[in-house]
Structure 1
Amino acid sequence: MKRIVIKRPYHVEIENVEIPSLGPKDVLIKTKVSGISSGTEMTLYRGTHPNLKTRKWGYWTEYPIYPGYEIAGIVMEVGRNVKDFSKGDRVVGLGTHGEYAKIPVNDLSKLPNNVSFEESTLAVLGATSIHAIRRANIEYRDTVTILGAGVVGILAIQHAKLSGAGIVIVIDLNKERLNIADKLGAEYTINVGIDNPVKKVWEITGIGSDVVIEATGNPEAVKQSLLLVRDRGHIVVLGYHTKPVELLLGDDFYHKELEISATRATGPIPGLPYSYIKWTSDKNLKEAVKLISNNDLKVREMITHAFKYKEIKRIYEEIDKGNLKGYCQIILNWE
């Protein structure tokens, strides 16, 4: 089988390897499509992912690295203890870019017939944004400001509305992404190349935003979040950060009595007691698939580019150099 590997920073290849053997709770998928999560994958491509230095978390600690975590395809084989999946099932899950993927059963969801493989790749980051919105504790008719109109930011718009937000404001520099945000539920979009976002948010709200979701991974956006949020408001850091964020805690954070929360991937690990945590990562993934199937989570407009997997070197280079304009979800075809 062929799979994508990053051998070292700025060096990506397609290699030939054996199809993986399964553990008792694994499922083998024949990949139809995979989604590029450009934020994470660029940190691996550039060598800036923090865990490459700290090596604290047990994944992506050294090269070679096998990128990707949005795989959709057909079940070919299941481990001996797998009960809920069978050969021929259409599925989506957290697997790396390759012709085949071995995925633990808890990282997998079946697909309804009305959800295409391409659309389903957005269920993984759909689950990530679900978890972030739950961390935000949005109350009915709250104003929510989202910094960053990338994939997770645009998904967060829709989840915020489903959670009862009254007004959603989206801030970005990319006009194509802001157009998508406008189509998918944002009441206001602010282009930072044209308007002062802090001034505009305060003009709209009068008191600042109840909730601010930072979805850029840019340290300056975290600092700006403290200016956008109201007194005793809540900031959720959804973007993945590879550089330090410098905050003067004795300024807005202190005087506004702010709450800042982190949000990690698709949620807590499966198997935790329901009395302790209701929504684990496996449940969030299945919920995202259900929302896409019911058209409550609209993802078709977010798919802006599709390529053959063999083009991965050029795709990474164009994303890295900023030459791939107006992209949101990028699909790799494996057939």
Structure 2
Amino acid sequence: MTPSALILKAPRALAFEPLDLPQLGRGEVLIRTLYSGISAGTELSQYRGTNPFMHRRFDEALRLFMADQNPSWPYPVRHLGYEEVGEIVETSVADLPVGARVYGTWNHRTHFVAPADYARERLMPKGADPRIGIFSHIGAVALNGVHDANIRIGDLVAVFGLGVPGQIVVQAAAQSGAQVIALDPDPLRRETAVKLGAWMGMEPEGAAERIKEMTGGKGADSCIEVSGAAPALAEAIRAAAYASRVVAMGFFQGELSGVRLGEEFHHNRIQLICSQISGVAPEASHRWSKPRLWRTAIELQHRGVLDLMPLITHEAKFEDAPAMFERLDKGEAGMLQAVLSFQS
């Protein structure tokens, strides 16, 4: 396959760009991509041009978005994709042989030159299906959210939004000892969640009243919002028990309409926690890190604790990536994890 990368020239305008592969330096390996997952969250916000990094500059030192004329991600965007797995096809490192498989983030591209330390820390387990590697980052996002929910064995946890990250949250929360209610307007997504570990599925409209009735008026011990939809966050706040925690994992775009902070949020002393993969909870940072979360997402799959392969519903060749993005953008029914294959 000719070395190339997928880029975004303008909103909804994808193109392929040739890759010039440099000669390997000392301590480097050349990875040929096998599979790359498409994120229906962050990547679609790039594809649609709604991501805040495309309109404002994020000041790393101040951690503030600045409204100036120099956005952080100008066009053409060359960093689409963060769910990759590949195999080493050329190496200058003795303990990283040709054929070894590596997971990581190197965007939708056919090849990637990686430093030895990068590849060494991301080796796939021997004998593992390489496709589990595409869940390293999105799996870490989900695990981070479950950690932020402070789940205890026996808790009742409501998960709002059953896209790929929500489905992983459901499984991880259930494996943590919680009874999980999986909420989404899509009955097929609810059915998938129940098959893979949820206690029950439920439509989100009116969920707060039903959850309160089920719990004798108490509510859910914690709610995790994974859709990035304002109505889901509003209902999660309403469904949470007094002085309990709502974890906001979803990537909310623009302002939030319908989130009434003067009602249940205020009167029930709800804790609203943002969970985002740029960091872990400070109290756990001496033990947990992003590399550990990535590795754990792979190992839990390899050990059979998490079963994420059923989430892969659509696969296309790399050259058909624009059509796959268009299908995701239109919200095609039945789509969860879309995967690009680089197999010849």
User: Common fold, TM-score beyond 0.5?
Assistant: yes
User: 2-side partners of 1:298 and 1:266: how far apart?
Assistant: 25
Q: Report the equivalent of 2:171.
A: 158
Q: Report the equivalent of 1:176.
A: 188
Q: Which amino acid aligns with 2:292?
A: K
Q: Structure 2: which 5+ runs fail to align?
A: 61-70
State how 1:7-46 maps to structure 2 within 5 Å. 7-19=9-21, 28-46=30-48
Can you list the C-alpha shifts for 1:61-99, whole angstroms capped at 9, x where unaligned? 21111310001111245688xx97444321111120010
User: 2-side partners of 1:215 and 1:295: how far apart?
Assistant: 23
Q: Judging changes above 3 Å, is the alpha-carbon distance between structure 1 residues 22 and 275 closer, same or farther for their aligned structure 2 residues?
A: farther
What's the CA shift for 1:205? 2.5
- 2:230 maps to 1:201: no
Q: Which amino acid aligns with 1:9?
A: P
- 2:49 maps to 1:47: yes
Fraction of identical pairs, as percent: 29
What's the CA shift for 1:263? 1.2
Q: Report the equivalent of 1:332.
A: 340
User: 2-side partners of 1:189 and 1:144: how far apart?
Assistant: 12
Superposition RMSD in Å: 2.6
State how 1:171-320 maps to structure 2 within 5 Å. 171-192=183-204, 196-206=206-216, 207-245=218-256, 247-265=259-277, 267-268=279-280, 276-320=285-329
What's the CA shift for 1:251? 2.2
User: 2-side partners of 1:163 and 1:184: how far apart?
Assistant: 14
Relative to the length of structure 2, the TM-score reads: 0.87
Q: Structure 1: which 5+ runs fail to align?
A: none
- 2:125 maps to 1:112: yes
Q: Report the equivalent of 2:103.
A: 92
User: 2-side partners of 1:22 and 1:64: how far apart?
Assistant: 27
User: 2-side partners of 1:286 and 1:250: how far apart?
Assistant: 41
**Which of 144, 153, 161 pairs up with 2:157?**
144
User: 1-side partners of 2:44 and 2:129: how far apart?
Assistant: 26
Q: Judging changes above 3 Å, is the alpha-carbon distance between structure 1 residues 171 and 102 closer, same or farther for their aligned structure 2 residues?
A: farther
What's the CA shift for 1:162? 2.2
Can you list the C-alpha shifts for 1:108-146, whole angstroms capped at 9, x where unaligned? 521123421222212221111111111111112111100
Q: Which amino acid aligns with 1:314?
A: A
Kept in 1, the 8 Å contact 2:182–2:190? The answer is yes
Q: Which amino acid aligns with 1:321?
A: K
For residue 331 of structure 1, give the secondary structure of its aligned residue in structure 2: strand
Q: Judging changes above 3 Å, is the alpha-carbon distance between structure 1 residues 164 and 27 closer, same or farther for their aligned structure 2 residues?
A: farther
User: 1-side partners of 2:263 and 2:96: how far apart?
Assistant: 53
Q: Which amino acid aligns with 1:2?
A: S
What's the CA shift for 1:309? 1.1
- Equivalent pairs, count: 326
What's the CA shift for 1:199? 2.5
